[in-house]
């Protein structure tokens, strides 16, 4: 028998070493906070620690020295991991757990985890680990098996996974763009709505790319400042514009906050972005409508007084013209006064049309003929270094229009083109027919159909995109102070809108500008064109009847009375409606016609006439006003029929109207 230095046999020494090791190991296991037991090579329990007692409910004295260690785990007496190591048989390791298990070899030991149904009568998630111990000669001494109940941790992990899944589902279905941006500006994550917003086909297409590359150049500094602010820990927001990957411009509003990891370190920028393109477009349309309404109110408010002044100028100039026929020099001066006055009157009418406060006279108009008719006038508006080219359509282009207003539109556009070509160039006016779909945006919110298109193109300086967006705004002008009112294109816009059409502008700096006007085409009637105006009739005929003239403006009242007297009429003047009633009552047998201003102090013309008619029902009336029709409609104007003249009115027109009303058989 082999002996050692102390004279003892090797087997005896090994046995002593084994006992000491087992005792030391037992001491360690007993003090572990993890549940554990130890089996010797005979599958007998040599250690069953306190934590194991607490977890299984089985006391140490009930199992120490026995092979019953499997009972708390497997009533059907399946082997534990420790048994498998001792026997060297790992068959059935995956059936250790009743629900699910994941087992693995670790060095010379075993590990397994899963849901365990039988422990304590409830489902618990356990981790088992078994490790062998060997003597110096490599013989197995014992096996230690530990097991941990991590049910709560596992439940938390599952709940976290479910929460993450729900959060991912919410983010994926969120209609707004949700994105994560790295400190260097690279895109880390983006939901489908965001990908659609930037026109990306997949996340892989933009993953890791610099999102600032999509931002319009004028907003990049602000975007960079927002990013820097967020990575310093401050939330922020920014409204900016991007150009999508497929070329679509969008207006966006982003809210950005710091995204922190578990330690609180800022690792990314979390941004939630909303596409506000349509909202901004609607806001812009609202602002445009408000500006137009403001100008309309201004135009409607000043039209009365301005028309009174023009009426006096035109009226006295007409009277003067009749007196200076034998003096060509004086007649030339009078002609200039009349021409300037009538241009001013047309300007007021255009302002009212722009603001939709002037009723336009619509009738079938052939645009080719209209453009040819106004061509000579347009040539006077431009300089010799500008070549005007007019191209009419081969077929008739018949629309419902006020020819005077459309002529005004062309003059406005030609005047702007002239100013845009200080060094000369080409100006082309072209008429054509076009079929528009519902999706056509340029011409405004137009219905699908067939339209006449008038294009006015110049080879001038052109405009930037931002300028072109505001070109129809009231009071907006790119001209120097004193060289533009900012109303020409606004009036053009209002006139075309009132005709049920639309207008668009296309421009490029250094290339030129094109305005396209769209007007709905109609079938050409047999006879076209406006009815003959009163000014085109034969010379007016006077009379000897007595006429009551009620006008609160002294200058205009005197002018009207003078014109009537020039044509043989007897005139009784009244300063206001109440004065008119009193004058009529005193002269009711003589007065055949009342010429009444609609709006006067103390009593309006409509109310005054109602009282006059009670006194003498056969008395006829003509109403006059310098106010826009929408202002006077609340005063009963809509009931006056054709007996109305809008100031300023030429003397010949006034006299013809007076004669017409007096000659009617039926009283008003």
List, in order of start, the domains of the chain with CATH numbers.
10-155 (3.30.450.20), 174-275 (3.30.450.20), 282-346 (no CATH), 363-520 (3.30.565.10), 538-662 (3.40.50.2300)
pTM assigned to the model: 0.43
Q: Is the pLDDT of residue 126 over 60?
A: yes
Q: State the Cα–Cα distance between residues 515 and 461, nearest whole angstrom.
A: 14
H or E segment to which residue 156 belongs = helix 151-173
Taking the C-alpha atoms of residue 373 and residue 530, their distance in angstroms, rounded to an integer, is 14
The SS3 of residue 423 is: coil
> In sequence order, which ranges of 2-99 are alpha helices (DSSP H)?
10-30, 50-56, 81-87
217 or 646: which leads in pLDDT: 217
> Helices 277-323 and 651-662 sit at what angle, rounded to 10 degrees?
90
- pLDDT reported for residue 21: 59
| Interatomic CA distance for residues 513 and 413, integer angstroms | 11
Query: d(Cα 24, Cα 284) in Å, to the nearest integer?
Result: 85
SS3 667: coil
Which stretch of DSSP H or E encloses residue 426? strand 425-436
Query: Whole-angstrom Cα distance, residue 515 to residue 517?
Result: 7
Beta-bridge mates of residue 271: 179, 256
Task: Give yes or no for a contact between 231 and 183, defined as CB atoms under 8 angstroms apart.
Answer: yes
Tens digits of residue pLDDT in 557-582: 988 998 899 899 999 999 999 999 99
Q: Would you place residue 19 in the very low, low, confident or very high pLDDT band (cuts 50, 70, 90)?
A: low
Task: Calculate the dihedral angle through the C-alpha atoms of 316, 320, 322, 324, rounding to the nearest 10 degrees.
Answer: -170
Q: In terms of pLDDT, which residue wins out, 221 or 1?
A: 221
Q: Read off the pLDDT of residues 450-501 as tens digits, 9 standing for 90 and up.
A: 899 999 999 998 888 777 777 776 555 554 433 444 456 777 887 888 888 8
Tokens 């990306």 label which residue? 200
- Give the residue with greater pLDDT, 299 vs 181: 181
Least confidently predicted of 434-443, 488-497, 578-587 = 434-443
Q: Say what the pLDDT of residue 571 is.
A: 95
**Higher-pLDDT residue of 297, 616:** 616
As a residue count, the chain comes to: 668
- Reference 567, options 547, 587, 589, 596; nearest CA is 547
Q: What is the pLDDT of residue 234?
A: 93
601 vs 312, 605, 608, CA distance in Å?
A: 20, 10, 11
Of residues 354 and 409, the one with the higher pLDDT is: 409
- Give residue-wise pLDDT tens across range 316-344: 888 888 788 778 878 888 888 887 887 77
Does residue 484 or residue 9 have the better pLDDT?
9
The full 3-state SS of 275-328, as one line of letters, equals ECHHHHHHHHHHHHHHHHHHHHHHHHHHHHHHHHHHHHHHHHHHHHHHHCCCCH
Q: Would you say residue 410 has pLDDT above 50?
A: yes
> What's the pLDDT score for residue 17?
54
């Amino acid at each position: 028998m082999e002996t050692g230095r102390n004279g003892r046999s090797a087997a005896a020494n090994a046995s002593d070493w084994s006992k000491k090791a087992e005792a030391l190991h037992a001491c360690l296991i007993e003090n572990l906070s993890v549940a554990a037991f130890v089996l010797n090579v005979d599958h007998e329990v040599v250690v069953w620690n306190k934590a194991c007692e607490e977890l299984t409910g089985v006391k140490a004295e009930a199992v120490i020295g026995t092979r019953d260690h499997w009972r708390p785990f497997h009533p059907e007496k399946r082997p534990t991991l420790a048994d498998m190591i001792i026997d060297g048989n790992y068959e059935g390791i995956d059936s250790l757990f009743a629900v699910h298990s994941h087992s693995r070899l670790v060095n010379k030991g075993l590990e397994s985890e899963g849901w365990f149904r039988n422990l304590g009568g409830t489902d618990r998630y356990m981790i088992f680990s078994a490790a062998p111990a060997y003597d110096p000669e490599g013989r197995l001494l014992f096996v230690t098996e530990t097991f941990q109940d991590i049910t709560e941790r596992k439940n938390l992990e599952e709940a976290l996974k479910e929460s993450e899944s729900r959060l991912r589902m919410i983010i994926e279905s969120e209609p707004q763009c949700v994105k994560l941006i790295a400190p260097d500006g690279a895109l880390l994550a983006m939901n489908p709505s965001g990908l659609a917003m930037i026109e990306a086909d997949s996340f892989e297409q933009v993953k890791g790319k610099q999102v600032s590359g999509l931002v319009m150049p004028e907003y990049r500094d602000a975007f960079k400042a927002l990013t820097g602010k967020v990575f310093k820990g401050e939330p922020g927001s920014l409204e900016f514009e991007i150009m999508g990957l497929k070329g679509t411009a969008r207006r966006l509003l982003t809210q950005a906050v710091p995204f922190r990891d578990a330690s609180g370190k800022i690792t990314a920028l979390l941004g939630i972005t909303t596409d506000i393109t349509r909202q901004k477009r609607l806001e812009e349309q609202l602002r445009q409508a408000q500006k137009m309404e403001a100008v309309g109110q201004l135009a409607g408010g000043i039209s009365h007084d301005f028309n009174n002044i023009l009426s006096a100028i035109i009226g006295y100039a007409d009277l003067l013209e009749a007196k200076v026929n034998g003096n060509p020099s004086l007649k030339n001066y009078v002609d200039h006064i009349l021409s300037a006055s009538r241009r001013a009157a047309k300007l007021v009418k255009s302002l009212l049309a722009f603001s939709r406060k002037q009723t336009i006279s619509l009738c079938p108009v052939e645009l080719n003929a209209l453009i040819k008719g106004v061509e000579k006038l347009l040539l006077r508006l431009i300089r010799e270094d500008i070549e005007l080219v007019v191209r009419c359509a081969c077929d008739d282009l018949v629309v419902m229009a006020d020819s005077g207003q459309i002529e005004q539109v062309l003059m406005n556009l030609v005047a702007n083109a002239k100013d845009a070509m200080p060094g000369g160039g080409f100006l082309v006016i072209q008429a054509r027919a076009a079929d528009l779909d519902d999706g056509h945006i340029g011409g405004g919110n137009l219905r699908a159909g067939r339209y006449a298109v008038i294009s006015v193109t110049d080879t001038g300086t052109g405009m930037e995109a931002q300028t072109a967006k505001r070109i129809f705004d009231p009071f907006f002008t790119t001209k120097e102070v004193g060289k533009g009112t900012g109303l020409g294109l606004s009036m053009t816009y209002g006139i075309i809108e009132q005709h049920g059409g639309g207008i668009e502008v296309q421009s490029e700096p250094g290339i030129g500008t094109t305005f396209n006007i769209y007007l709905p085409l109609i079938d050409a009637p047999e006879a076209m064109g406006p009815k003959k105006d009163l000014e085109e009739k034969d010379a007016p005929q006077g009379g000897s009847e007595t006429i009551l003239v009620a006008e609160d403006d002294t200058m205009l009242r005197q002018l009207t009375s003078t014109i009537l007297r020039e044509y043989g009429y007897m005139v009784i003047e009244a300063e206001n409606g109440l004065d008119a009633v009193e004058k009529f009552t005193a002269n009711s047998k003589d007065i055949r016609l009342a010429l009444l201003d609609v709006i006067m102090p103390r009593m309006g013309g409509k109310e005054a006439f109602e009282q006059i008619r009670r006194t003498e029902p056969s008395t006829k009336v003509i109403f006059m006003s310098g106010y826009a029709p929408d202002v006077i409609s609340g005063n009963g104007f809509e009931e006056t029929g054709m007996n109305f003249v809008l100031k300023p009115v030429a003397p010949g027109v006034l006299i013809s109207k007076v004669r017409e009303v007096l000659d009617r058989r039926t009283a008003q």
